[in-house]
Amino acid sequence: MGRRYFGTDGIRGRVGEAPIAAEFVLKLGWAVGRVLAGEKAPGGRKVLIGKDTRISGYMFESALQAGLSAAGVDILLLGPMPTPAIAYLTRTLRAQAGIVISASHNPYYDNGIKFFSADGCKLPDALEEAIEAELDEPMVTVDSAALGKAERVVDAAGRYIEFCKSTIPSTLTLRGLKIVVDCANGATYHVAPDVFTELGADVIKIGVQPNGLNINKDCGATATQALQKTVLEHHADLGVALDGDGDRVIMVDNKGEVVDGDELLFIVARSRFQQGHLGGGVVGTLMTNFGLELAFKGLGIDFERVAVGDRYIMERLKEKGWLLGGESSGHIICLDRTTTGDGIVSALQVLATLIQSGCTLHELRQGMSKFPQRMINVPLNNGFDFRKSDAVTEALKAAESALGSEGRVLLRESGTEPLIRVMVEGSDAQLVKRLAAGIAEVISGQQTVA
């Protein structure tokens, strides 16, 4: 069946506009409860709800809670918690599902709802389809005696902190490292600094004063300037930037240079390969820098690309029986550590490599040479399909011809925002920049004409 609401990462949009409105989220909670009511649950039916720090989280938390209760499902409230923490706690608390209220790296005025199954993975397609079907039915409340009850999990943060620490050997310590941690004024603000501090690091924390409106604003994994500046000012060994919901990580080395997801993936994969426990190959996406592919080829590591999105990375990893994959944006999946992308856990894998090798982060990144890459986000007007535009097709062909065998062009619609992403990659930085700007200009012009 065609999906009306679920995208590749749950349901997302602007707050107050369908479907991200209180009345829909109330019905969504009820629909989820109705679907779970039909599932076998020996220990009783219960659902976890966690959120990031957006002001709209209060509203949607209450709406989901009411809908689930009306369907007869109990609720465990986690409050502000990273998305991967909710996946972990759903599994360890034996809940039937976990619900995350977050729009990840988007601004505060966006929000979204995404789900984890009982095993801490994304919901199967069949369950998402069943929820959509239930949304067409009239909302009916169960008998008062069968209403779901809600309680707050008071030790959620402590449980997750201990889990994160357990993902690196107990013999390793971060003592002697000065680390700047940028929590993007998001869901990790009360968790991430404690993880690194308890492991022995001297931690300088920024982006830890959320007010409901400043999540991801000029901070975090999508805006590293504040982190770079702080690392240099404090002569820190490195910096860790998380995004608003904590599933992405970007790092900064001691020279203030950004180390992106491709480079972090390389560092972790090479270390595991050298130690003999990589567990197969590595999965990247269409956006993965060509330099990473070449670096893996030089090491003899198998590498495959999939469509952009952690869902597709996860599918390929499971299909191949591999353990490691990730995106340039810093969404890294270590299936031998956890069931989903986790910014804190991924950062710890890099730090473990750093400690074991005795190298700095700047030194560890040197084994991979990135190709110049230019990404431009072009606002997408409703109804415009760049694939059907002759002008865009001609601009694309001209760019590919100019790049030859030493580059590539990728156009794709964002799965989370109304944007067309224009990516050009090649050996000549100036040519890459010029071609990307030209294609973006053509797309903008065609939308104006349309």
Q: Any bridge partners for residue 80, and if so which?
A: 51
Strand partners, 47: 75, 97
Among 194, 160, 185, smallest CA distance to 50 is for 160
Residues 6+ apart with CB under 8 A from 4: 132
104 is catalytic: yes
d(CA 91, CA 121): 9
How far apart CA 378 and CA 444 sit, in angstroms, is: 7
Residue 315's Cβ-side half-sphere holds a number of Cα atoms within 13 Å equal to: 13
Burial of residue 171 (CB within 10 Å: 0-12, 13-18, 19+) is exposed
Residue 294 is encoded by which pair of tokens? Answer: 């070449």
The type of residue at 241 is A
Classify residue 7 by its DSSP letter. Answer: B
Which amino acid, one-letter code, is at 161? I
Taking residue 158's Cβ as centre, other Cβ atoms within 10 Å add up to: 11
- Those residues whose C-beta lies under 8 Å from the C-beta of residue 286, and which sit 6 or more positions away, are 305, 306, 307, 308, 410, 412
Backbone CA torsion sign across 325, 313, 424, 106 = negative
- The residue to which tokens 């830890």 are assigned: 208
Cβ(408)–Cβ(425) below 8 Å: yes
Distances (CA, A) of 370 to 244, 261, 294, 397: 26, 12, 9, 24
**Active-site choice (104, 117, 328, 389):** 104
Backbone angles phi, psi at 30, to 5 degrees: -65, -45
CB of 239 within 8 A of CB of 252? yes
282-285 vs 324-326, strand pairing mode? parallel
Q: What residues act catalytically? A: 104
